[in-house]
Structure 1
């Protein structure tokens, strides 16, 4: 990736648990200083404490809900005040909701767009020019295998991840030869707090295939990023499902996905 420093600073959003927390361990194990951002202060302090106990790296935390208006400006101001400059950005913050779009809270669904799409886009566009100017660094945008298909009963969530996939693919092409890497990480089912917030059953009930752990997903995403890969879909079965469903006629897959997501809703 043409990094000027052997230890570029990594900023991770949604770092208070799950894949974001796993990324913190993966990056810290290689000596990277960390900037961890999430809305839950207690959990951020927990993650920081565990990381600094295991690895000799500096870890800064910023408590912030990136889905709120003006949050990205606030983050940028805080970074400037602390003289922190991220060399690598991992846009991991996001959430989903399960249910029919017409029945779910409109405000909650719009907030999902604000976090999954607007904040991710804002932070990408803020930091990408500086990375290009330095000719190093890069961005991992965490999407989902949901981005490869429409999702009845999770319509807005699937649509936000389709945006992330499209956006990151385009930026990957735009930045070729710049020394900057853009990688789209699209995991399948993962056992994290995502299911609880979304109102879903746990990941193991969604598939006969054992889901990847958050650590396995982070490791795959980090390895793919370092290899300059455009898209990383951890797990052979996830790859087959994502690309097969993407190419299948929608009149065929929509009823199947509608039934699957309906069955995934926690009762």
Structure 2
């Protein structure tokens, strides 16, 4: 961990999926607010570029860890490496995630198993590992990045929507369990956000993306960060996304599912 002079008073934030999009913007905000950083992503080159950029701009310590979080051993390896270097994590940001697009009967099983590992298992594993020390020291923050997809089923992205529903439910339950411990859990549920996500999933031509005025990753990250610092349990960036998340409670589930299907279709 590259250390400028006297970093002992600074807290440390660990951010997964930090090489681009919301993860990168969150890292920039934490750095601006004087947090030391541990940035995790599989893109070693991009992480190195970010480390150079941030250390020119901010007086912080920054450690990069290149890991493929679809590997089940990665969370334990990250935790062990930080323990060996005596790096205490005060804020854990489980941001990494990806999706697949298409009929479940036709999509790749391997891709979806990797998605479950990244979006769901890795998030749970990292939270379990780092939470104990937070509770022991009587303070800490966890930010889990879910999606507005968490509030309803999602035909053509069935597994992705289900993983985000898990993240929302898990985070809410954990926030309740941790009341009075000094540790807070926030789950952020952004709507469609400007990023490479849609191109990677193959849904860039869907009605949802074509017709949507997407929020930029910087704005989403800033809203999520403010909510985290205030100790909010659920943060939904954007008024339209807030309204839609509430509306689905009052519409029959089968109707909601049909509406989402039409929005997700390419034609």
TM over 0.5: yes
State whether structure 2 residue 71 is matched by structure 1 residue 57: no
* In 2, Cα distance between equivalents of 1:147 and 1:200: 18
SS at match of 1:263: coil
Instruction: Work out whether residues 143 and 185 of structure 2, in 8 Å CA contact, stay in contact via their aligned partners in 1.
Output: yes
* Alignment deviations for residues 179-212 of structure 1 (CA, whole Å, 9 cap, x no partner): 1110001100111121122112179962645221
Instruction: Work out whether residues 207 and 263 of structure 2, in 8 Å CA contact, stay in contact via their aligned partners in 1.
Output: no
Q: Which residue of 1 aligns with 2:176?
A: 173
RMSD in angstroms over aligned alpha carbons? Answer: 1.7
Instruction: Give 1:152-163 correspondences, 5 Å limit.
Output: 152-163=155-166
Q: Which residue of 2 aligns with 1:215?
A: 218
Gap change, CA 1:42 and 1:128, over 3 Å in 2: same
Q: Which residue of 1 aligns with 2:139?
A: 136
How far did residue 27 of structure 1 move? 0.4
How far did residue 245 of structure 1 move? 2.0
SS at match of 1:206: helix
Alignment match of 2:109 (pick from 101, 106, 112): 106
* In 1, Cα distance between equivalents of 2:249 and 2:205: 24
Q: Which residue of 2 aligns with 1:42?
A: 45
Query: Which has the higher mean CA deviation after the structures are superposed, 159-168 or 123-132?
Result: 123-132
State whether structure 2 residue 19 is matched by structure 1 residue 16: yes
Gap change, CA 1:205 and 1:262, over 3 Å in 2: closer
Instruction: Work out whether residues 206 and 265 of structure 2, in 8 Å CA contact, stay in contact via their aligned partners in 1.
Output: no
* Alignment deviations for residues 79-122 of structure 1 (CA, whole Å, 9 cap, x no partner): 12222221100000110011111100011101100000000000
Query: Which has the higher mean CA deviation after the structures are superposed, 129-138 or 208-217?
Result: 208-217
Gap change, CA 1:69 and 1:75, over 3 Å in 2: same
Instruction: Work out whether residues 149 and 246 of structure 1, in 8 Å CA contact, stay in contact via their aligned partners in 2.
Output: no
SS at match of 2:232: coil
State whether structure 2 residue 95 is matched by structure 1 residue 85: no
Q: Which residue of 2 aligns with 1:198?
A: 201
* In 2, Cα distance between equivalents of 1:203 and 1:65: 29
Q: Which residue of 2 aligns with 1:228?
A: 231
* In 1, Cα distance between equivalents of 2:166 and 2:220: 20
* In 1, Cα distance between equivalents of 2:86 and 2:206: 40
SS at match of 1:68: coil
What is the TM-score normalised by the length of structure 2? 0.93
Instruction: Work out whether residues 206 and 264 of structure 2, in 8 Å CA contact, stay in contact via their aligned partners in 1.
Output: no
State whether structure 2 residue 125 is matched by structure 1 residue 122: yes
Q: Which residue of 1 aligns with 2:4?
A: none
* In 1, Cα distance between equivalents of 2:148 and 2:140: 25
Instruction: Work out whether residues 203 and 209 of structure 2, in 8 Å CA contact, stay in contact via their aligned partners in 1.
Output: no
Gaps (5+ residues) in structure 1? none
